[in-house]
Amino acid sequence: MIAILVLMIVGLPLRNALSVSQPYYVVGSQGQVSLHCIYKTTTQPEKMQVSLYKGQYGHERICSASVNMSDPHLETKETVNCSGSVSKDRVELTVFGLKGVDTDLYRCRVEIIFPPPYLSKYGNGTLVYIPESPDCPTERTEARIQDKPESTPIQPPSLTLILLCAILITTTIVLILQVMNIILIPPKSSLVPQKVPQKGDYRNFW
């Protein structure tokens, strides 16, 4: 009984030696989101493990990285990439590769690896909203695109075609004008006056 009381008394400060808090709500843009986790600890950590979990109870781990405080930068290359940095009381994370279906509650987990004692704590969670990107069509929009017939682009008329049309029109106009001249103006031979025979000209009576 005494040992249990001693463990409870010793364990109580350790339980409260680490706390993690997060903002309630953030909005992503173009498939990425930035969020931060604030942690408070009674020790000065030298080595930490920082993880981000998806879901209300943190079942799906999105990314995880071990961080030395001498080089507090972190970066993971997974299906969803995470990068950021760790300071003495704050974890800054930027998550890449998210889609609209990834809108969910995200929880930070901070683990103090060194120095002992080992401490671990989850944050209260941040609701991350990822707007659907127009560059990433959904199944419904993809079906509409497949059903839509391909439209043939309208090509502007070429210079050669324009010149041929102009020559054809000019030739037609010239021909029409020539026909009109022939019809409206009588030939010159019809305009020559006929010679009337004189009285002394008897050659016409033979």
Q: Tell me the pLDDT tens digit for each residue of 22-39.
A: 999 999 999 999 999 999
Tell me: pLDDT of 202 over 70.
no
pLDDT of 3 reads 43
Tell me: pLDDT of 88 over 90.
no
Tell me: pLDDT of 73 over 70.
yes
- 188 belongs to a structural domain: no
Average pLDDT over residues 16-20: 88
User: Would you call 186 helix, strand, or coil by DSSP?
Assistant: coil
CA distance 170 to 30: 59
Domain residues for the domain of 74 are 14-137
Residues 6+ away with beta carbon under 8 Å from 1:
none
Tell me: pLDDT of 97 over 80.
yes
Q: What is the CATH number of the domain that holds 55?
A: 2.60.40.10
- What pTM did the predictor assign? 0.58
- 168 belongs to a structural domain: no
State pLDDT tens for residues 109-166: 999 999 999 999 999 999 999 998 665 555 555 555 466 555 556 666 678 888 888 8
- 32 belongs to a structural domain: yes
pLDDT of 178 reads 82
pLDDT of 8 reads 44
* Of the candidate ranges 38-47, 73-82, 92-101, the one whose mean pLDDT is the lowest: 73-82
Beta pairing partners, 51: 64, 109
Token couple for 32: 């990425």
pLDDT of 199 reads 56
Q: Give the chain's mean pLDDT.
A: 79
Tell me: pLDDT of 59 over 70.
yes
Compute the CA torsion angle 81, 83, 40, 14 (nearest 10 deg): 50
Average pLDDT over residues 180-195: 63
Q: How many domains does the chain have?
A: 1
- 112 belongs to a structural domain: yes
- 26 belongs to a structural domain: yes
pLDDT of 121 reads 95
CA distance 30 to 60: 22
Tell me: pLDDT of 10 over 60.
no
- 45 belongs to a structural domain: yes
93: nearest Cα among 69, 118, 64: 64
- 116 belongs to a structural domain: yes
- 125 belongs to a structural domain: yes
